[in-house]
């Protein structure tokens, strides 16, 4: 049953892409390119039977060059490249270009000698990319220590690009404020707590809700935090809130309103990123959901206990709602409303670097305390 549904989805996608492909390739169903990563390697999967699919290396400087059929290149791959550049220090630069009318070329400039490991299966060519360790070789053999998987936090600054989010009475845009807080949070996690973090977006671009969730899975994040500064119809509403997923939808009138306003973005924009495949949705969003929600609520409590030290809470305890970005199986996920941009006083606060710094530090401390508790309870690998 699993194979049939997946094959049906890929067949439909391939047929749609073939309609716009050059005639010489129109008969072949094209599998879309995917890019994923683990703690130490990047893996690119591309159509194996297509002569346009190539992966090779160049020197001076060291580069990995990936050629893919134009019609097999998904727009979402651009956001994955943004993530891997943050995740791996050895990725110096990434670039995408139309090499020919039929080929898209991806170039990864890397800081050391790259290694490519190729495997082929079911029409896919998978290439694992690593960079050789430049540490000196020891003469005496020493047993390598067992290294724990490095922790990775996926920070999602809400909205972006054509979706501005909420707009304050003085013209403050939610999408800009939350990006400032997210970037500061990323820096604090690294410098103060030694926790690696990546952003779903580093600038003012739109990313569909579905792909924000996918990024966390494609790159093996341990936590997902979406940062917002939302609005409400009553401009007297104020305070910060923390949300985890509710399997039954919104748990309060406020949560229901916010859930509808956040999820409506995918209804208004980029329907081509969404899927109507019921099984695929279930696989992506509902697997191990009960345990994930429990851990997400615990994560939310750690955040709330630190946020309340720097700003008053609209609700002192984590709430639950049906935000699309929280439907991330096996990855504890929360959405933080740092405050309400439609409240005059809080709009002013959101524009102040000092408040952004306080909020970022509270979030960083909450993330760190959550990880400490998970390690104490032996829940981290």
**Token pair of 82, please?**
């943004």
The predicted-structure confidence for 160-182, as pLDDT tens digits, reads as follows 999 999 999 999 999 999 999 99
- C-alpha radius of gyration, the chain, whole number: 22
The residue among 221, 173, 201 whose CA lies nearest residue 334 is 221
User: What is the value of pTM for the model shown?
Assistant: 0.80
CB-based contact 107:65 (threshold 8 Å): yes
Q: How far apart are CA 363 and CA 204, in angstroms?
A: 22
Output the CA–CA distances (angstroms, integers) from residue 150 to 74, 84, 214, in the order listed: 29, 15, 20
pLDDT class for 280, splitting at 50, 70, 90?
low
Weakest mean pLDDT among 1-5, 143-147, 186-190, 291-295? 1-5
Output the pLDDT for position 277.
64
**Token pair of 251, please?**
């748990």
Output the CA–CA distances (angstroms, integers) from residue 300 to 39, 180, 227, 324, 375, in the order listed: 25, 21, 13, 17, 17
Q: Tell me the HSE value of 59 on the side-chain side, using a 13 A CA sphere.
A: 2
The predicted-structure confidence for 67-103, as pLDDT tens digits, reads as follows 999 888 888 899 999 999 999 999 999 999 989 989 9
Strands 34-37 vs 42-47: parallel, antiparallel or unpaired = antiparallel
Res 108 pLDDT > 80: yes
The predicted-structure confidence for 218-235, as pLDDT tens digits, reads as follows 999 999 999 999 888 888
Res 305 pLDDT > 80: yes
Q: How far apart are CA 212 and CA 331, in angstroms?
A: 13
The predicted-structure confidence for 149-163, as pLDDT tens digits, reads as follows 789 999 999 999 999
Neighbouring residues of 283: CB distance < 8 A, sequence distance ≥ 6: none
pLDDT class for 288, splitting at 50, 70, 90?
low
DSSP per-residue string spanning 179-195: HHHHHHHHHHHHHHH--
pLDDT > 90: percent of the chain: 58
In this prediction, residues 195-204 reach a mean pLDDT of: 97
């Amino acid at each position: 049953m699993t194979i049939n549904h997946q094959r049906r989805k890929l067949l439909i996608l391939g047929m749609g892409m073939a309609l716009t492909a050059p005639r010489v390739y129109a008969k072949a169903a094209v599998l879309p390119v995917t890019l994923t990563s683990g703690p130490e390697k990047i893996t690119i999967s591309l159509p194996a039977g297509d002569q346009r699919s190539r992966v090779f290396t160049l020197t001076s400087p060291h580069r990995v060059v990936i050629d893919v059929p134009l019609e097999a290149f998904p727009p979402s791959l651009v956001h994955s490249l943004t993530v891997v550049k943050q995740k791996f220090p050895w990725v110096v630069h990434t670039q995408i270009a139309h090499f020919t009318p039929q080929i898209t070329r991806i170039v990864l400039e890397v800081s050391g000698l790259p290694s490519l490991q190729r495997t082929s299966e079911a029409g896919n060519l998978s290439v694992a990319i690593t960079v050789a360790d430049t540490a000196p070789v020891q003469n005496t053999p020493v047993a390598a220590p067992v290294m724990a998987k490095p922790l990775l936090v996926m920070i999602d600054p809400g909205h972006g690009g054509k979706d501005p989010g909420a707009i304050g009475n003085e013209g403050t845009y939610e999408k800009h404020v939350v990006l400032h807080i997210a970037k500061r949070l990323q820096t604090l996690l690294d410098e103060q707590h030694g926790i690696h973090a990546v952003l779903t977006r580093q600038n003012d671009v739109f990313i569909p809700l579905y792909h924000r969730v996918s990024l966390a899975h494609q790159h093996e994040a341990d936590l997902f935090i979406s940062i917002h500064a939302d609005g409400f119809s009553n401009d007297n509403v104020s305070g910060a809130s923390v949300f985890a997923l509710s399997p039954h939808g919104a748990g309060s009138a406020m949560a229901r309103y916010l859930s509808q306003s956040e999820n409506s973005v995918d209804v208004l924009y980029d329907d081509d990123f969404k899927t109507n495949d019921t099984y695929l949705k279930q696989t992506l969003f509902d697997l191990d959901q009960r345990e994930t929600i429990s851990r997400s609520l615990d994560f939310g409590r750690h955040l709330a206990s630190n946020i309340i030290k720097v700003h008053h809470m609209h609700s002192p305890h984590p709430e639950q709602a049906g935000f699309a970005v929280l439907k991330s199986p096996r990855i504890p996920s929360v959405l933080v409303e740092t405050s309400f941009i439609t409240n005059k006083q809080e709009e002013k606060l959101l524009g102040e670097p000092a408040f952004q710094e306080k909020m970022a530090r509270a979030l960083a401390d909450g993330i760190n305390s959550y990880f400490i508790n998970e390690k104490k309870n032996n829940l981290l690998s």
